[in-house]
Amino acid sequence: MTTPSFKDHFSAHATDYRAFRPVYPPGLFAFLASAAPGRTLAWDCGTGNGQAAVGLADHFERVFATDASAGQLAAAEPHPRVEHAVAPAERCPLPDASADLVTTTQALHWFDHDRFYAEVRRVCRPGGLLAATCYYEPSVSPEVDPVLRRWEDFIRPYWTPERVWVDAGYRTIPFPFPEPLPVPPMEVTAACDLARFLGYLGTWSATKQYVRAHGSDPLDRFGPEFAAAWGDPAAVRTLRWAFNVRLGRVG
């Protein structure tokens, strides 16, 4: 399964994506930097709003962050060691054998894998790493989760076919690199009140597809159920996701 052309599900909602999507655990970037053959350059591919790029900048001299969506990059947080460029995953402007690490966070399922992996092999220096991360299976609490599971069942027909790889935590996605290093267990979390939680659900590409298909917001239908399960809408709860990292050695 490949994605021969860029499917832009996010440019029109880049501000919401930045506001409501979770950040990554800082320990992820420290671990990746420690495993890479150097700390001169990291390429963050499919950077979106640049959350991972900023995390990488704490450990690398330079981070080159690319995305095919100009709208997403316009909403990215600036950082003196991060350079942003509009570019598809399959055509990176970096020179040959220049990157110590390539990362792609919650984006690999959108790429043309054969062409992207060819670029990874070209751009990585000998012994470089590719890290592909995926968060999935959101969970809040015993009260909220049953409603969340019904919501997932309702919205599932509106996901694109690539979603099967996310649901599997990237364990079944094509990944042609040896994986020599175990990744320490990590968890992605976000503190949410009810409005922020519903805002996150609104960023799902399946939610946007439902709106395009029906002209209405599916969360209007589920909002009262979530509100009843949540209780005080100002109450802050911890939203958790399962998290997986595929880490491969390129060379």
pLDDT of 117: 98
- In this structure, whether the domain defined by 11-139+162-189+242-249 belongs to CATH 3.40.50.150 is answered with yes
Provide the pLDDT for residue 22: 85
Q: Which residue has the tokens 């599900």?
A: 9
Rounded-to-integer distance, Cα 132 and Cα 127, Å? 16
CA distance 155 to 172: 22
The pLDDT tens digits for 224-249 are 999 999 999 999 999 999 999 999 99
**Closest among 109, 113, 125 to 43, alpha carbons compared:** 125
Quickly count: other Cβ atoms within 10 Å of residue 236's Cβ: 12
Closest among 25, 32, 92, 90 to 59, alpha carbons compared: 32
- Distance between CA atoms of residues 71 and 68, nearest Å: 9
Looking at residue 251, its pLDDT comes to 80
Rounded percentage of the chain residues whose pLDDT exceeds 70: 92
Q: What is the pLDDT of residue 75?
A: 87
41 within 8 A of 61, measured Cβ to Cβ: yes
User: In three state form, how does the secondary structure of 57-77 look?
Assistant: HCCCCEEEEEECCHHHHHCCC
The β-bridge partners of 71 are: none
Alpha carbons 94 and 11: distance in angstroms, whole number: 24
At 23 the pLDDT is 85
CA 9, 15, 18, 19: dihedral to nearest 10 degrees?
-120
- Segments of the chain with pLDDT less than 50: 1-6, 9-14
DSSP 80-115: TTEEEEE--TTS--SPTT-EEEEEEES-GGGS-HHH
Q: What angle do CA 15, 20, 25 make, to 5 degrees?
A: 120
The pLDDT value given to residue 70: 92
